[in-house]
């Protein structure tokens, strides 16, 4: 297998939805590599809140000021997607100790499947390590009574808008 371009990295995930933690990894990855592709993995066994196209649009619009970032959806193994992109690096983010275990196992599996690819980890920035897409969805679903928008700390503004629209019909009417 010919090695892919080591200056081109691919950052895969479900991004359901894109969080400020993901965005931080994208921004820093784009500064490290010549090109960064964000790959939205489509897992038929999961029922995501946002469709792949919605997730793609949100990432494309949020990263439009980063000229070396592109976004695509993929099905199947991430290593095969990285190969199709012609990239040589898989970029991952690390939040907590518990992330390390899972990410380490995945990196070893990916090395077995794609020995020509290298996995590079970026540590979450301060203030991002507690952010996950599931936390974002929980906060969005439960809503708030306060004047401030709690989602501002977790997701980019466009995603707040999309979450509001998506969940408007699902949120139970408040008890008075
Ligand atoms: P999520 O669980 O938020 O949907 P994924 O599991 O799809 O995210 O993760 C994609 C990659 O992004 C993984 O390497 C994960 O560790 C990383 N990541 C997710 N959230 C953050 C964050 N807040 N800070 C840094 N990296 C993150």
Q: What is the pLDDT at residue 102? A: 94
Q: How far away, in angstroms, is 13 Cα from ligand 1 center?
A: 7
Paired residues of 13 in beta bridges: 40
Per mean pLDDT, which range of 37-51, 60-74, 131-145 is the poorest? 131-145
In a domain, 143, yes or no: no
pLDDT tens per residue across span 140-169? 988 766 667 889 999 999 999 999 999 887
In a domain, 97, yes or no: yes
Strand order in the sheet with 87-94: 69-75, 35-42, 5-13, 87-94, 118-123
Average the pLDDT over 105-126 and give the result. 97
Q: Which residues form the domain of 22?
A: 5-128
Tell me the pTM: 0.93
Residues in contact with 31: Cβ distance below 8 Å, sequence separation at least 6, in sequence order? none
Instruction: With cut-offs at 50, 70 and 90, classify the pLDDT of residue 171.
Output: low
Does residue 92 have its Cβ closer than 6 Å to ligand 1?
yes
CATH code for the domain of 120? 3.40.50.620
Does residue 125 have its Cβ closer than 6 Å to ligand 1?
no
In a domain, 135, yes or no: no
Q: What is the 3-state secondary structure (H, E, C) of 48-84?
A: CCCCHHHHHHHHHHHCCCCCCEEEEEEECCHHHHHHH
In a domain, 154, yes or no: no
Q: Could you identify the atom of ligand 1 that is nearest to the CA of residue 136?
A: 3
Joined together, the tokens standing for residue 81 give 């997607």
In a domain, 90, yes or no: yes
């Amino acid at each position: 297998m010919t090695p892919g371009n080591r200056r081109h990295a691919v950052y895969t995930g479900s991004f359901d939805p894109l969080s400020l933690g993901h965005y931080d990894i994208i921004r820093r990855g784009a500064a490290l590599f010549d090109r960064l592709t964000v790959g939205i993995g489509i897992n038929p066994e999961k029922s995501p809140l946002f469709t792949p196209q919605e997730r793609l649009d949100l990432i494309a619009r949020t990263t439009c000021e980063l000229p070396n970032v592109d976004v695509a959806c993929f099905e199947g193994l991430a290593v095969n997607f990285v190969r199709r992109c012609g990239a040589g690096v898989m970029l991952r983010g690390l939040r907590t100790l518990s992330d390390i275990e899972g990410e380490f196992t995945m990196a070893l599996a990916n090395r077995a499947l794609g020995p020509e690819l290298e996995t590079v980890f970026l540590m979450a920035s301060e203030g991002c390590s507690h952010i996950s897409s599931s936390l974002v969805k929980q906060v969005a679903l439960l809503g708030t009574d306060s004047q401030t928008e709690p989602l501002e700390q977790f997701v980019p503004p466009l995603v707040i808008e999309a979450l509001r629209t998506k969940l408007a019909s699902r949120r139970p009417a408040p008890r008075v």
